[in-house]
Every structure is written in structure tokens, then in C-alpha cells.
């Protein structure tokens, strides 16, 4: 039982890899997520997808939109909508900081990952700025150079 808690402590549930390709990450925050019971059970089964998801500020609250959580496999009469809005739980000063940055500079809020922390689902959201096409090409080029460098170093060590 104790080993399950330790393993559950900070396990990543889902990543949004596309966010790092499409955006420059400026600052990230940790937020709790208000979920239904069937959603938590479905997340434990790994039935969550963050692709094309984003967060929106609305009347002093932060909402997570377009996150797909598939239905729980052993559900009876209880079920949830797959792409419903989910409230993010942040401190008031964090919400005010986000509001100022998003409104003034035209930045976007994007979830980077969902993970377990002390038995609760947390979301890492980030303030991001969109990349231009040439920035995306530069990212790909840099990744390929790093890969080739690592391969050359590994070959040289043999």
C-alpha cells in the first residue's frame, strides 16, 4: 500500500508535446483540476488526451477546455461528458497575474501535462506565445543537430 502511494506521488498522466512545438513557453504554473469521480477513474486507466487543449480566463476563474477524457470502462449509470469545461484551482494572486499577462500581451494559456501529486490530479499550465513557421523549423533543426551530436559522442566512446 505504501509503495502504491509513493509510485502515485508524482506520476505523469498525459503530456502535451505539441505545445512545445507550437509555442514558446514563458512561465508555468501548477493548478488543481476539479473533476468528477468517473473522470478520475478514467484518468487512472490512462484515458486522457491533451492535444489541442487550452485554458481560458472567465470572470475571475480559469477553465480548462477541450481536454478529452474518455468514459470510464466499468461505469453504470454515472457518466461524464468527454470534452466538458473543467475548472482549474489556483490562488487568487496567480489568477490576477495570469489575467494581466494574457490581456496585456496577448499570450495564451496551454496545459503542458497532467500528473498525480499526493493522490490528486494536477495540471501544469503555461503562459505561451505562438511560434512562427521559421521558429518551428529552427526547433526541428536544433533537435536533429543534438541527436547527431549525441550519436557521435556515443560512437566515439565505444
Distance CA 157, CA 79 (A): 55
- pLDDT score for 5: 53
How much of the chain exceeds pLDDT 70, in percent?
88
- When pLDDT is averaged across residues 81-88 and rounded to a whole number, the result is 80
Cα distances (Å, whole numbers) of residue 120 to 60, 74, 78: 23, 21, 21
The sign of the torsion formed by the CA atoms of 17, 21, 23, 24 equals positive
- pLDDT score for 78: 63
Joined grid coordinates for residue 17: 508535446
| pTM (2 d.p.) | 0.72
| CATH code at 2-131 | 2.40.280.10
pLDDT digits (tens, 9 = 90+) for 104-151: 777 888 999 888 888 888 889 999 888 787 778 888 888 899 999 999
pLDDT digits (tens, 9 = 90+) for 85-105: 888 998 999 888 888 888 877
Domain ranges, ordered by start, for the chain = 2-131
Amino acid at each position: 500500500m505504501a509503495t502504491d502511494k509513493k509510485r502515485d506521488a508524482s506520476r505523469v498522466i498525459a503530456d502535451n508535446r505539441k505545445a512545445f512545438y507550437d509555442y514558446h513557453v514563458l512561465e508555468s504554473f501548477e493548478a488543481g483540476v476539479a473533476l468528477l469521480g468517473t473522470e478520475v477513474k478514467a484518468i487512472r486507466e490512462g484515458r486522457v488526451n491533451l492535444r489541442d487543449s487550452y485554458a481560458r480566463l472567465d470572470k475571475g476563474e480559469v477553465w480548462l477546455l477541450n481536454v478529452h477524457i474518455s468514459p470510464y470502462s466499468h461505469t453504470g449509470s454515472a457518466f461524464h461528458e468527454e470534452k466538458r469545461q473543467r475548472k482549474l484551482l489556483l490562488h487568487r494572486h496567480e489568477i490576477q497575474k495570469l489575467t494581466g499577462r494574457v490581456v496585456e500581451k496577448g499570450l495564451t494559456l496551454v496545459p503542458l501535462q497532467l500528473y498525480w501529486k499526493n493522490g490528486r490530479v494536477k495540471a501544469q499550465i503555461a503562459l505561451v506565445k505562438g511560434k512562427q513557421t521559421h521558429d518551428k523549423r529552427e526547433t526541428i533543426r536544433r533537435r536533429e543537430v543534438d541527436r547527431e551530436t549525441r550519436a557521435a559522442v556515443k560512437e566515439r566512446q565505444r
